[in-house]
Structure 1
Amino acid sequence: MNALNIKEILTGPISTYKGSESTRSMIEKQIKERWGEKELKNYDPLHTARTFHSWIALGFRVKKGEKALKSITFIEVKDNKGNLLNKVKRPCSLFFYKQVEKIK
C-alpha cells in the first residue's frame, strides 16, 4: 500500500473504537509480532485497524490469506428504560491497513 492510501485512511472516517487501553495494547503487541516495532508508528486505532465490514464500507478488501488481529469489545445490555444492566465481553476481529487493498 503506498503513502497516498495511508494518508487517505488516516484522514478518512474514524472507526467505532471506544478507547480501551487494554485492547489497544493487545493489538499493538500483535502488530509488533507480525510487522515489527517500526510499524507501530502507523497504528492509529481510529483509522488503521478496522473490522472486515468497516474496510469494505471504505472501499477496501482484506487480502487473500490474511489472518485477523484478535481483540475484544464489550456490548452493553440495557433494559427498556435504557438503564445499563450488564456488559458482555465479545471477541472482535480487526485487520490492519497492511492487510487490505483498494477495491478496483
Structure 2
Amino acid sequence: MAEPEQRERKLRPAPLLFEPSEASADPEHFFDLESIDDPAALLARSTELTLAFRAAADRATEFQAVAAAQLADPRRFDRLTTADIAERAQWAEDYAKKMVEFGRDLLRNGNGG
C-alpha cells in the first residue's frame, strides 16, 4: 500500500503550464527540466510532472469516453457507429465500444465532464 505522503502527492499533481512557443520548439527543452542541476530536485520535479501528465491523461480519457458515448447515443439523429467513432479517434473498433460504455457509465454516474 502507498505511504500516506505518496497518496497525498498523487491527489495534488503539479500544474501543467504551457511552455512558450520558442521553448517548446527546442527539442532539448522540456518544462525547464534540463536546467535543474541537483539530481534530487530533478527527480522531484520530473516526478511531479509525471503525475500531472498521468492525471491529465486520465481526465482527457474521461472526456473522450463521454464524447464517444454522446456521439453513439441512439437518440441522436446524427449518431455515429462505433466504427465511425473509432476512425475519428484513431482507435480500434473494440476499444471504441469500450470507451462508449465507459462514457455511458460516467454519464449515468454524473461524472460526465
Same fold per superposition (TM over 0.5): no
Greater strand proportion: 1
For Structure 1 versus Structure 2, the TM-score category normalised by the shorter chain is under 0.3
Specify which structure has the bigger relative contact order, considering alpha-carbon pairs within 8 angstroms and separated by 6 or more residues.
Answer: 1
Flag the structure with larger Rg: 2
TM-score by length of 1: 0.22
TM-score by length of 2: 0.21
